[in-house]
Every structure is written in C-alpha cells, then in structure tokens.
Structure 1
C-alpha cells in the first residue's frame, strides 16, 4: 500500500469508530477484508488510527471537523506531511482537497498548549487542571504521544542483564528504566516481544514501569497469605509471586473468565498462584491487593478510545464501585495485615479522595501513598498502602 492508501484506509476505519464501532473491531474487520495489506501496512494503518484517537480534539481543530477525513487531515497537518501530494484522488489515495479544506489548512497552527488542551474531554479538563496542578500542561503534552512499551523482568527466571541479552538476540532492543529494578523499556522491535523466547519462557512479562514500581514497594515475604482481589489477567499477582516465590498467593475476580489466562501465565513464569471463584474466598489475609476498576485515565495513551467514551455519569459509577470494593476487600485483611489500593487513574476522585474517605470512615491509616504521572516515565498510576490503626 502507498502512504496515501494507508491514510485512506484510516479514514474509512475512523468513520466506523465515529458511528460507534470499537476501534479494535474496526481494524480487525478491515484487516480481514484487505488481504492485499501486508503486516507493515496493517501496522501503519493501526498507528494512524490510534494517533488520531489520542489527539482527536486537536486533530479535529486542525482538520476542520470530526469526520474521518477531517481527522486524518489534522493528523497529516500535525505531522508535517505533504498533504497535496497525498490527497490526490489517484489510485487509492483520498480525494483532493476542496477549496474550503485548503483554506482551513492555510490558517496558522495553534500553539502546542492550546492543542494539548483540546485532547482532553471538555467536561473533564477542569478536574484534571485542579488535580494535576502545575504538572497539567506537561502531562497533557505527554499524553498526546504513544506510550513506551515496558517489560518486567521475572527475577525468578533471571536478572535484568540476562533479559536484555536474551531479547537482543531476537532483535529486541531495551534499556533499563529507573522506576523499578525489574523494568526494561523496549526501544526497538516491540512487535516481536510476544513471539520471543524470553517472553515464551517467562523471563519477561509486559507490565508498565509505574505499576512495577508500586508493586516493588509492597512488603511481601515467604509464608504470607496474599489475595489479589480484582486480579483480572493476574499481572500484579505474578509480580508479587516473582518477589516472594514462597508466598501463598490467591487470585480472585468477580468475573472468573477474566482469570482464564492466569494458570498459563503462572506456569510460564514458574509462579504458584491459585485462582479462587467468587463466594469461596477466605479471610485473614496478610496482604489484600485491590487493583480497582477505574477510568483508566493514566493509560489513555494506550487506550485513547476510552478517553472519549468516559462520561460524568460513568465516572460517578466507578467511584461508587471503588468505595464498595475497598470496604469489601478490607474485611479480608488479617489483624496486622495491609490493604493495597491501586488504580491506573490520574484523577483524585478515584485516588487520594477515595483513600481519604475510607480512612475517615473506617479507622484505618495510610502507611504509604504515591501517585505516578507520565512525567515519571510510565503510565499514570496511584498506590496506597493502608493498615488498621489498632
């Protein structure tokens, strides 16, 4: 496919997203219907679509509207592409510019701060400005770019240097990240990771560096009874198991189907993790981890579609659910044990405010608390360790 044809494909996919189709489904359907597209073409089209979704507000302003065509015009303008050479209407290229489009594109570019402001939902912008304070402008700019790919080195299988060497043999370049001693940032060959021997043999797992840093601060040791209360795919449980192979770790999720990959992932990592169905949980755990359902605002570089689908009503529902889960999980903690509350959110309503309300109402206290933003290198992330005052 030519560069122009890739842009045309992105336009068609974005039109489907605009009509309500999930981006991943629209991309999959396009790929299945476009057998002529090679792996490089599919990757390029995917990148175009996700670049637009990350910067939908600013690209709409640059391109003159919310249509797939206008958004891709905004993308081309933001990236300094030769629009006249790409929008020719020849072959599979997008149609030539109209006079109105040409006039729009001739206008001066807004400053970067104005563009970054546009890439938050209008209703959420004031809350983010208040919550992020002086970091708001820098975080807004950082959130417009693709997120780095991070790996967690499984110390039960080898150290960071061994992981780097193994990955390098398969054309995957990495560098140590300062956020956690287990963190590697992938600087080349990211699409090869999941097919690599290092991944297949459990030496590395995909996990954000901020999440790794938060887990690294958790006191966990052999013999402890640990519960990952909202386990999902088990990433946090695996990280804990790597730090304390002889801890007794259980994974639970209200939807057991989300945990279906945990046995395979644990076997690959050489970890011992038991999955527990709802209604069969024990009590008196030394550590209960709550990776709560949240807006995911700290991960919107990776899941930009979610940014535009979040509503005030949904955020309120999530905050109510987080409070309920936090209190239910606290009832599972043994005397002298700890409760770890985590989200991948940038919003205080889901983070510090939740913890403050819990402490105020229950008599627990904060032992340690930290917020990460993309300025730290990884995703936006929050972690609070809580303990009973008595």
Structure 2
C-alpha cells in the first residue's frame, strides 16, 4: 500500500470508531476486508489510528471536522506533512482537499489542546498543579516498549546480549534495575527467543518500580489479590524467589494465562479463585481509571465519566477493606494503581487510614507518565 492509501484506510477506520465501534474491532474488521494489506501496512495504519485517538480533540480542531478525514488532516498538520502530497485523489488516496479544508481549522486551546475531556483536565490541574500540562502532553504520544528482565532466568547483561543477537536494541531504564527500554526492533520482541524462553517479559518500567518499592524483608507467603493476567505475580516471584505466590482475581477468567506464563518464567504461582488465609504481603493492583496509561489505551479517556470514577473509588475502598483482613500480624498491605488522579490514590489511602487508625504508611511512591514509563502510585501499609 502507498502512504496515501494507508491514510485513507485510517480515515475509514476512524469513521467506524466515531460511529461507536471499539478501536480494536474496527481495526480487525478492516484487516479482514483487506487481505491485500501486508504486516507493515497494518502496523502503519494502526499507528495512524492510535495517534488520532490519543489526539482526538486537537486533530479535529486543526482538521476542521470531527470525522476520520478531519482528524487525519489535523494529525498530518500537526506532524508537518504537506497535505497536498497525500490528498491527491489518485488511486486509493484520499480525495483532494476542498477549499474550506485548505483554509485550515482552528488552533485548539485548554482541554482540547491537552487532548482530554474538560472535566478530566480540571482534575489534572487540581491534582497535579504545575505538572498537569506535562503529564497530559506525555499521554498524547506513544508509550515506550519496556521489558522486565526475569532474574529467575538470567541477569540484565545476558538479556541485553541475547536481545541484541536477535536485532532488538535496548537501553537500561532508570525507573527499575530490571527494566529495559526497547529502542530498535520493538515488533520483534514477542517472537524472540529471549521472550519465548521467559528471560524477559513485557512490562512497563513504573509497573516494575512499584514492586521494587516493597521493603527488602523476605515475605514467605504473598497474595497478588487483583492478579489479572499475572504480570505482578511474576514480578513478585522474581523479587522474592523463596516466597509462595498466590494469585487471585474476582474474575477468574482473567487469570487463565498465568499457568503458562509462570511455567515459561520458571516461577510457581498458585491460582486461588477464593482468597483466604493469612499472608505476609497482600499486593493489590486495584481496578482504576488507568489514567497513567491512557496513551496505551487512548479510547479509555474519552469514555471515562465522573460516575465511572466514583464507582471505581467505591470498588477500591472495598478491595482495601477485604485485603487488609488477609494480612498477617506484622505483614504488609500494598495498594497500587496505574492512575494519576488523587481520588484513587492519596485520598483513597487517607480514607482507609481514617477508618482504620491501627494501620500506618510505611512508604509511598508516585510516578507521572514520562518517556521512561507510565503513571503509577503505590502505598505500602502495616498495622501498629
């Protein structure tokens, strides 16, 4: 496909998304209809679509229309592309620009310039202060591809050497001693021997850092209470190789891949559909807005509402209450989110402490999204 044809394909897919289709479904449906498209074409079109999703409001303003065409015009304008070289009307290319499109759209301002819903931008400003604009701008760009070196299988140096031999260039990531940022060969990772053998896992650096933040004491019995696909369970297994790791999730189907992932990683993780007993460490990476990771799932920020936030806050509070009752005497409770909103982070902890004065904070860490990692929050608590 020509670059112009890729733009037209992105326009068509964005129109489907605008009509209410989830992005992944729209992309899949297009792929099924377009068997002629090669892997590079699909990757390039996906990048265009997700760039427009991250910049949904600003591209519409600059393109003068809330359509796939308008947003692609706006995106290309932002990127400094000469529009007349793309909108040629040639075979498979978008139609030539109309007079009103040539005149240009409007310069976005305030929340539109930040590519956030109005109410979320107000939350960013109140919660983050002078850091709000930087955080919002980072969420408008692609996230880095980051790996966790599985120390059950090897060290960082060995992982970098093996990845390099497969054409994957990495650099050390400052957020975690086990984190490597992929600088070249990102699309090769999943098929690489380093990944297939369990030496490395795909995991954001801030996500690794919140496991690093746990105290150096050696817990013997660990519960990953909101385990999901098991990324934190595997990181905990590597951080505490002598501990017994139990994974639990309210929706057990989410954990279906953990046994295979644990086997590949050389870890032992017990699956528990019901969390019971006592644990030296209960780790709760709770359901949240995902606001620190919105560049990875940009649709989420456009579908997120104040009511959604309130529902999440209540769910998080209930998880904290239940999880705290599973912590043994002298044990630790870790509460984590991939959110950068105070309601889900410090305010949630303050609420828990007000209701449970026997608990106190051991340590807190907060990471804003940046070029090295996503936004994450963790607080580690213990009882008096």
TM-score interval for Structure 1 and Structure 2 normalised by the shorter chain: over 0.9
TM-score when scaled to structure 1?
0.95
How much does 1:282 deviate? 2.0
Q: Is the 8 A contact 2:114 2:137 kept in 1?
A: no
CA displacement at 1:117 relative to structure 2: 3.6
* Helix, strand or coil at the partner of 1:342: strand
Matched, 1:159 2:155: yes
Matched, 1:41 2:37: no
Partner of 2:361 in structure 1?
366
8 A Cα contact 1:323 1:358, kept in partner? yes
Distance 1:376 1:248 in 2: 34
| 1:222 Cα deviation after fit | 5.5
User: CA separation in 1, counterparts of 2:369 and 2:222?
Assistant: 29
**Could you say which residue in structure 1 is the equivalent of 2:278?**
284
Alpha carbons 1:209, 1:378 under 8 Å: kept: yes
Query: Which of 234, 239, 242 is 1:243 aligned to?
Result: 239
Q: Which residue of 2 aligns with 1:190?
A: 186
What stretches of structure 1 of length at least 5 have no aligned partner? Answer: none
Give 1:104 shift.
2.1
Q: Secondary structure at the match of 1:250?
A: strand
1:290 is displaced (CA, Å) by 0.5
- Residues 138 and 371 of structure 2 are in contact (CA less than 8 Å); yes or no, is this contact kept in structure 1? no
Shift of 1:115: 7.8
RMSD of aligned C-alpha atoms?
1.4
Maintained 8 Å contact 1:221/1:247 = no
Report the secondary structure of 2:104's partner residue. Answer: helix
Q: Does the aligned pair in 1 maintain the 2:143–2:371 contact within 8 Å?
A: no
* Aligned residue pair count: 383
Hey, what's the Cα distance between the residues in 2 that align with 1:204 and 1:122? 39
The CA deviation at 1:42 is: 0.3
Give the corresponding residue for 2:210: 214
Q: Distance in 2 between matches of 1:143 and 1:300?
A: 6
Whether the 8 Å contact between 1:116 and 1:140 is mirrored in structure 2 is no
List aligned pairs for 1:367-382, cutoff 5 A. 367-375=362-370, 377-382=372-377
Corresponding position: 1:169 with 2:165: yes
Alignment partner for residue 349 of structure 2, among 340, 355, 372?
355
- Inter-partner Cα distance in structure 1 for 2:157 and 2:299: 36
Q: CA deviation at 1:138?
A: 1.6
